[in-house]
Chain A
Amino acid sequence: MDTKELYEKIAEGVVEMEEDTVVEYCQKALDEGLDAADIIREGLIKGMDEVSRLYETGEYFLPEVLTASYALNEGVNLLKPHLKKEVATTLVKVVIGVVEGDTHDIGKNLVKIMCESAGFEVYDMGRDVPIDDFIDKAVEVDADFICLSTLMTTTMQGMKDVVEHLKERGLRDRFKVMIGGGPVSQKFCDEIGADGYSADAASCVRKMKEMMAEKAWNSRNQKR
């Protein structure tokens, strides 16, 4: 089997949500001496891209996306030990989590998966995350985005607190704050002064890409 065919099999396995197929062909790819990072990028993530597309067009729903990402993770787990030491990149970096007091994390996981499949580097803080932990992590990894999720009205306030704490610490301009989740709206986003709201994971990633393009454009202009 040639390299291209192997990558296709892996991608297909993700789209078809078959973890056994994914693991089998990831192993084959490793045995062929292919680079683990290439297998992730050309196989697993290509598959997840297709899953995202199917989700956006309404062909796939949440159960399919979750099951596909489960298969993808099985592949990643196999490949991880084989990843060569990271080289410095200019990747988009994202710190993501569910705000303190809330443990509902399906929405957050979905955004995480789609960020990863867009090639972003994602730092997942998990759920029920203290406000300042988001900021500390974003500083530590020099993130571009802080993504906050919540399903509950009682914890929405935590999103505002992140924005306020960023201001207090003189860091507001350093990160873009994205918010999402059941009770959250564009109106709320405007009120608390966050940078972006989106109703679903796919449009969140699209918005982030637009913001990065704008940022690149602005910094290029500044250099001129």
Chain B
Amino acid sequence: MKYIRDYGNGLKVPEDELTPFERNRLISEGKSVDRIQCCLDTGETMAPLIGCGIKEYYHSAEKMCELEEYIYNTFKSDGVGLSTTLRGMAEAMGSEIKYTDTNVAQLKTPALTLKTIDNAKIVDVEKDGRLPIILKGLRMVKDRLGDKVPVSGTVTGPFTVAAMVLGTEWLLMGMLKCPDKIKQLMDVIVENNNKYIEKLIDMEVGIGFADPVSSTTLISPEQYHEFSYPYFKKNVDFIKAHGRGCGLHICGTSRGLWEDLKTTGIGLFGLDNVESIKEAKEVLGPVMAIQGNVPPVDIVKDGTPMEVLESAKKCIEDGHDCKCGYVLTTGCQMPIGTPEANMHAMMDAARLFGRNM
């Protein structure tokens, strides 16, 4: 702890010796690197860092790219990229989204009800909703930063897309009231996701999924197995058929799903801070890399840089020897208002405590 106390007061933080791109390549070749990888889980919540309103960010490929460049140049995070955001695909399918400049977008009116599922539409990813803006932004990010740092696109897990298409409450009740209709909708979403994923494959960027509604905070492992897993797996299978891999993040509790996750074919799982890295290392570690899980609200947004260092150090200690790899990050997306000093502290934790591993 003496170490951490001196942070910002004489403690020397070793400089990176590799670019994130080089580091990532060496790791994939099984070679040793200067430090463990650390990804800042950013996105729309960080738009204020470049003086941009959040609504404006959501609708501007240029702002999306500018933010990724700012974050990379400022922190040297090990990954950059853009997400469809949790409501992006649902919006393309017809849901109405409420945007404001000071908050994350929220679902205003779902595209469908349980009675109108037959109308679920196949999207045109080049035209519908904000998908074309995000794809344009991602191409720009890839052009500007692709030689320095791995670039990836995040897709929303099919079950979460369904929640944003129907409203979460109705999706949950629909599983019990009209299971076949829900499955019919899931099939359409799988196809829509694959259309978007195809663009990511063409662009040669990495692929990740965010699927918060699949959390066992909301549904049972059996419901996950029946209504979420098969459809998510179809997306993963599509990616693997193209010779590519992908990762997944589920917010909230997920322990009850881990046995299923082992057979999805994903290469990386990002766990929420309510779950244990040690346990994930034991259960999932033999088949996939683990990413996590500094508490985003209590520590990264509301804590001090010292607290970030302490928490991140513990994560590194728990995760560094994970068989398929470990990446330091937060347990969920960094909230609006996260101090830059704490983001630096996250990165510096990897530089201080993640060396020669």
Contact = CB atoms under 8 A, between A and B. Distances in A.
Interface in A163-208: 182-183, 185, 187-188, 191
A63 B252 contact: no
Interface string B317-351: 00000000000000000011100000000000000
Interface residues of A, number: 25
B169 interface: yes
A124 interface: no
Contacts of A153: 296-297, 301, 335-337
What band does the interface of chain B fall in when counting residues whose beta carbon is under 8 Å from A? 20 to 34
Given A106-B168, A152-B103, A61 B223 contact: yes
Looking at B168, B172, B296, the one whose CB has the most chain A CB atoms below 10 A away is: B172
A102 B219 CA distance: 22
A70 B173 contact: yes
Contacts of B301: 153
Contacts of A61: 216, 218-220, 223
Looking at A63, A102, A187, the one whose CB has the most chain B CB atoms below 10 A away is: A63
A62 interface: yes
Looking at A17, A70, A154, the one whose CB has the most chain B CB atoms below 10 A away is: A154
Contacts of B199: none
A191 to B, nearest CB: 8
B172 A66 contact: yes
B177 interface: yes
Contacts of B102: 154
B238 to A, nearest CB: 28
Interface string A25-58: 0000000000000000000000000000000000
B128 to A, nearest CB: 23
A183 B218 CA distance: 15
Interface in B294-312: 296-298, 301-302
A62 B335 CA distance: 26
A101 interface: yes
B54 to A, nearest CB: 9
Contact of A62 (B104, B218, B251): B218
B186 to A, nearest CB: 15
A183 B297 contact: yes
Contacts of B251: 182
A106 B163 CA distance: 12
A185 B298 contact: yes
B336 A63 contact: no
B298 A66 contact: no
Contacts of A62: 172, 217-219
Contacts of B335: 153-154, 183
Interface string B94-120: 000010001110111000000000000
B357 interface: no
A137 interface: no
A67 interface: yes
Interface in B191-226: 216-220, 223
Given A63-B219, A102-B106, 10 more contacts: A61-B223, A63-B172, A103-B106, A152-B104, A153-B301, A154-B103, A154-B104, A154-B337, A182-B252, A188-B298
Query: Which 3 residue pairs of A and B lie closest in terms of their CB atoms, listed nearest first?
Result: A153-B335, A63-B172, A61-B220
Interface of B: 98, 102-104, 106-108, 168-169, 172-173, 175-177, 216-220, 223, 251-252, 296-298, 301-302, 335-337
Interface of A: 17, 61-64, 66-67, 70, 101-104, 106, 109, 152-156, 182-183, 185, 187-188, 191
9 contacts: A62-B217, A63-B218, A66-B172, A66-B173, A103-B106, A106-B169, A153-B301, A182-B251, A188-B297
